[in-house]
Structures are given as C-alpha cells and as structure tokens.
A and B are shown apart, each in its own frame.
Chain A
Amino acid sequence: MNKKRVWAAIGVLAAGGALSLLVGAALARDPYTREELAEQEKALLASVDHGRDLWHGSNPSISTNGLACGNCHPDAAASNPHTFPKYQADVGKVIALRDMINWCITTPQAGKPLDADGDDMIAMEAYAFYLYRGKQIMPGLATEQTSPVVVKSGVGYPKKGSGVGYDK
C-alpha cells in the first residue's frame, strides 16, 4: 500500500466512524459511567455476600441436620466451581455447578433443594465463583482438590462496613 492509499483508507474509516457515531446516538447507549459500574459491582457483591450467608446456614430449609456448606467447605474450599460442568459419578451424567450445589444440599445436608433459577441459587454460585476468581477454568477436573484464592483476612471480598479485611 502506498502512502496515498493509506491516507485514503484512514479517511474512509474516519467517515465510517462518524457515521456509526450518528447512528449510535439513535440505537445504542453510551458506555457505562463509573457510577453505573460501581452500582453493578455493588449488586454483584450483595449477591456474593448473600451467598456467603447461605453457605453458612442462613436458609434453614436447605439443611435438616444442622450442617452448613461452610462446615465442610471453609472459604468455599474444595467446591471447585471452575471445574463445572462435569461428570458426576453419583448422578451418572454431566452436571452444572448448581446441580452439584443442590446435590450437596440434598445429600450431606438432607435439605430441600433450591430453585435452580432463584436468587438464592445465583447467590450460592456467586460466592463460590468469587472466591475462586482468577483460577483457570478447567471443566472436568475431577481428581484434584483445588483451593480458592488465599484469604488473608476478612471474608474474601470487599464488604462495606465490616471494617476488617479486603482481599481483592
């Protein structure tokens, strides 16, 4: 490409950009503002926080024997959310994380399973995934016990008002 052609190409690109900007004003929205992003993160962390409470027994219907997920999975350890979906031998098929959560509700906790699409289930998943953030997604890793992020203090995620710990 010679110099002239390059300039011509840039000219076309610039014109196209201006065009899409004009169209965009009608059809698409502006990028999220910092405030909007902060709101979204707040909503996510509220779900994570609700999930942590659920993992520690805040919903009595998911356990009839007093056990909570946190008893066996401190800091969500060994829940391995990044390995789902995968084959679960006891069920005999490939299942999603929410199925495994319900399996642990009905088996070790002898509780009532959660609605797979309900806010509680999403919060349960949000907590597990948040504590495994940054871990490589590896569906099907069945023989290894993996660890969540190392939590030095606090609960393992930014939690307003607690005053203790914030592990990003």
Chain B
Amino acid sequence: MIDLKNASRRDFLSISGRAGLATLVASAVGINVGMVEVLTAGTSKKITPFRFAILTDAHLFSIDDHKFDIFLAQAVEQVNAMSPAPDFVVYGGDIAQNGRDDQLVKGRKILSKLKMPIHFIPGEHDWYLDMGAAWKGHFGSPTWSMNHKGVHMIGMNSILVRDFWTAAGMSAKQRMDTMEMLESPIAGPWGVREEQLEWLKKDVKALGSETPVVVFTHSPLWDYYPRWNFQTEDAPEVRSILSKFERVMSFHGHVHQTVYNKIGNMSSVGTLSTSWPWPYPDVQLAYPEMRMTRSDPAMIQDGEGPQHIDLEADFQGTMHYDPFGNMLQPSIKDGFKI
C-alpha cells in the first residue's frame, strides 16, 4: 500500500523490483487518499489463507477490577467472537504496567479465556523489575519461530537496553520506574542485541527467498521516534538479515496507535493497545493517511482495541483494526492492504 500522491518513482521501483512480478492496482479510498494495492502474482510458494489476531499493551495494574482488566477481557471476547476465527493470537508486549508478577498472572488468567493458542513477546513494562524472570516463567522464551500454513513466523525481544542501573546504584524498582516513563532521559535506546541477531541468522538460513515471513517485536523495526523508543536500535541489522526474502511483514506494539511504513521488502504495521492511545510524535510520516483521528478523552475506550490480519494465498495481508471507539480514518475502517 502506498500513497499515490506521494509515491515517487523510487518507491514504485523498490516494490515492483523486489516482488518481481508485482502489479499495481489503484483503488480510490476516501476523498484525498489515493491507495494502491500491491498484488504479487506467481510466487512459487502458495500459502493456505488464514487469519490471526494481535492483542497488545494491556498495561495491567495491581488494582482489582481495574478498567484495563475489563478492556483486555473485552478484547479477548471480541477475538473469540471473530468469524472466521483466528488460528492463533500473538500478544505484543506490555501485559503489566510495573513488571510485577501479580500483574503478569492477572494477564495470563484473562488471556487464558482465548479459544485459540497464543504466543507472547515482552514489552519494557513486563521486563525491568526482575529482568524478565517472572515473564519467562509464565510465557517461556521471548525468542521463537514457527511455521504456520506456509508462513514463517518470528517473535523477538526488542526492548533490551544497556545497563544504566548498576553504576547508578539503582534498585530493581528504580530501574523499572525509569523504564516505565516513555520520555525518560535516562534509559538509552532499545534493541534485540547480538545474541538474537545470531539466532535470527541461523533461524532463517535454510529458508528460501520465496518464504513469506512475519516478524513480531514490541517496538517498531524502523526509526520512528527514538525519544519515546518508537524504534529498535539494531533494526537495520534485523532488516538486513531478512532482506533476502521477497516480502516480510512486521507487526509491533508499543506505539499505541495506527501507523504504517514500508522499508525495502518489509511492511511494518503498528497495533492499537487495549489500554490507552498515544499521541503522534512530531515527525513526518511516509504514510500520513494511516493516522487515526484525535481520540476523544470523554470516550473512555476511544483509540483502543485488538486487530486481526487476513493472509491470502499469495501472501497479501489485510490489516483490520477492531477498535472500541471510532477514531479510524475512512481509509482504514474496512481494513487495508499491507
């Protein structure tokens, strides 16, 4: 999907060049928004169409019957009611608000109501009280891959920072507090780091370039707004390892807003949270039509919700935001091609 008005010849070439047999079909969506669907035909590797859902950023507090518990439970109900049902759910991080075990336990309990399997990656709010010990105890390894109906799915932990706490003599709680603040001046940039990069290289080594790949991280795999860690420091390395594939889809949490980008062979989609929406940072977006409208603070769930993705036989994806409120632009209300 690209914005017709802003599409340069270079964008066009990078898409058609990669996919080899790509054709562009224009379809007018909305009044001022020109959208183009990229149809890849003739890839040798066909997949069995399926649907999966993403839930993320519940930010559960250690308070009973908190509104965010209810929001997450509602999102679970919404996913369970989808027809056709998603094959599985990916949870994109930030189950907890303060990294506490009781918050992770509460999240696991609410999510256990899902009728389908669920796979987890961590967010910064889950991790920095005990460096992921409780999280790993509940949800297993943050680094994983699986093959599903012809698609290679990858999950990675993108919230790893350099040690800022030891030299400063911080307690575990102070470390967590520091990471909780989005605009904290203290904690440095996030990344997946060396070990996972090595793992990723090995994980995709045997796969042919025609294999469809979907990757999940908490933070975006592109340089969106470093100040709020809307970025992953070593995303260029990740993208370079995945550059041999014809097409890669990246889904990320953390930004609590609708956002889309495309870099090389990777389309990248931000997901809504089930807790609260975040404002857009002051940067120029390559696909500004993907912004949601201002959320209404009087509508307590505006700008929140789960999402589901339909993958077609030729590895075309349609992203559907399933918001509780009504802040989506007309162009993304009925889903958009990714």
Contacts and interface: CB of A to CB of B under 8 A. Distances in A.
Contacts of B300: 107-108
B280 A145 contact: yes
B69 to A, nearest CB: 11
B63 A152 contact: no
B279 A77 contact: yes
Give chain B's interface secondary structure class: loop
Contact of A151 (B59, B63, B183): B183
A165 B184 CA distance: 11
Contacts of B182: 70-71, 74
B144 interface: no
A154 B185 contact: yes
A13 to B, nearest CB: 49
Given A153-B185, A165-B185, A104 B279 contact: no
Q: How big is the A interface, by class? A: 20 to 34
B315 interface: no
Nearest to B277: A72
B202 interface: no
Contacts of A74: 182-183, 228, 278-279
B279 A143 contact: no
A164 B61 contact: no
A147 B282 contact: yes
B294 A155 contact: no
Contacts of B61: 65-66
Given A70-B181, A74-B183, A75-B183, A90 B294 contact: no
B173 to A, nearest CB: 14
A145 B294 CA distance: 6
B224 interface: no
Interface string A138-153: 0000011101101111
Interface range on chain B (Cβ under 8 Å from partner): 20 to 34
Contacts of B277: 72
A23 B277 CA distance: 60
A65 B186 CA distance: 26
B227 A75 contact: yes
Given A70-B181, A152-B227, A65 B297 contact: no
B276 interface: yes
Interface in B225-239: 227-228
B281 A107 contact: no
Contacts of B228: 74
B276 A72 contact: yes
B31 interface: no
A89 interface: yes
B67 interface: yes
A73 interface: yes
Contacts of A153: 185
A162 interface: yes
A70 B183 contact: yes
A116 interface: no
Given A74-B278, A78-B279, A150-B282, A164 B185 contact: yes
Nearest to B227: A151
Interface string B10-46: 0000000000000000000000000000000000000
A80 B256 CA distance: 19
Contacts of A155: 185
Nearest to A162: B185
Interface string A74-101: 1101100000000001100000000000
A155 B228 CA distance: 12
A112 interface: no
Contacts of A107: 297-298, 300
A103 B61 CA distance: 22
B250 interface: no
B261 interface: no
Contact of B67 (A56, A65, A70, A72): A65
Contacts of A90: 297-298
Interface string B158-176: 0000000000000000000
Interface string B49-68: 00000000001011100110
Interface of A: 56, 65-67, 70-75, 77-78, 89-90, 103-104, 107-108, 143-145, 147-148, 150-155, 162, 164-165
Given A71-B276, A75-B227, A150-B282, 9 more contacts: A71-B59, A72-B278, A73-B279, A77-B279, A77-B281, A145-B279, A150-B227, A152-B227, A155-B185
10 contacts: A65-B63, A66-B63, A72-B277, A74-B183, A108-B276, A143-B294, A145-B280, A147-B279, A148-B282, A150-B282
Interface of B: 59, 61-63, 66-67, 97, 181-183, 185-186, 227-228, 276-282, 293-294, 297-298, 300
